[in-house]
Amino acid sequence: SQQGEEDPQALSIQEGENATMNCSYKTSINNLQWYRQNSGRGLVHLILIRSNEREKHSGRLRVTLDTSKKSSSLLITASRAADTASYFCATDAGVAGGFKTIFGAGTRLFVKA
């Protein structure tokens, strides 16, 4: 089963609008990351938020983390057509030792010009 699950599965908005994607996870975590994937390409790291952080910004991106609800959100402000991509959250599953970074199924964002 997946640790992180994104919601919605797909999102279509107009250029200039804000896009919000959510990620829920099941077990406690040490950190949560967001990645972006253009169609048919590799993933690109966007931002990492640690379990003791509540909010983080990077340019037009704003990430929040609520560990009590086991959820995170990614907000893209003033979206552009170039933001069209799939967005994935990845969590570490809070496991000590080994490699346990698990990706969700992603949110497909389509920004209409």
Partner 1 sequence: DGGITQSPKYLFRKEGQNVTLSCEQNLNHDAMYWYRQDPGQGLRLIYYSQIVNDFQKGDIAEGYSVSREKKESFPLTVTSAQKNPTAFYLCASSIFLSNTGELFFGEGSRLTVL
State how far the Cα of 27 lies from the Cα of 105, in Å rounded to an integer. 17
Q: Give the list of residues 6+ apart from residue 92 with CB closer than 8 angstroms, or none.
A: 29, 30, 31, 32, 100, 101, 102
Residues 19 to 58: which contact partner 1 by CB under 8 A?
30-31, 33, 35, 40-45, 48, 50
Please check whether residue 110 is in contact with residue 12, taking contact to mean a CB–CB distance below 8 angstroms. yes
CB of 28 to partner 1, least distance (A): 13
Of 96 and 113, nearer to partner 1 (C-beta) is: 96
Task: Kindly state whether residue 75 participates in binding partner 1, applying the rule CB under 8 A.
Answer: no
Residues near partner 1 (CB under 8 A) are: 2, 4, 9, 30-31, 33, 35, 40-45, 48, 50, 88, 90, 92-93, 95, 98-106
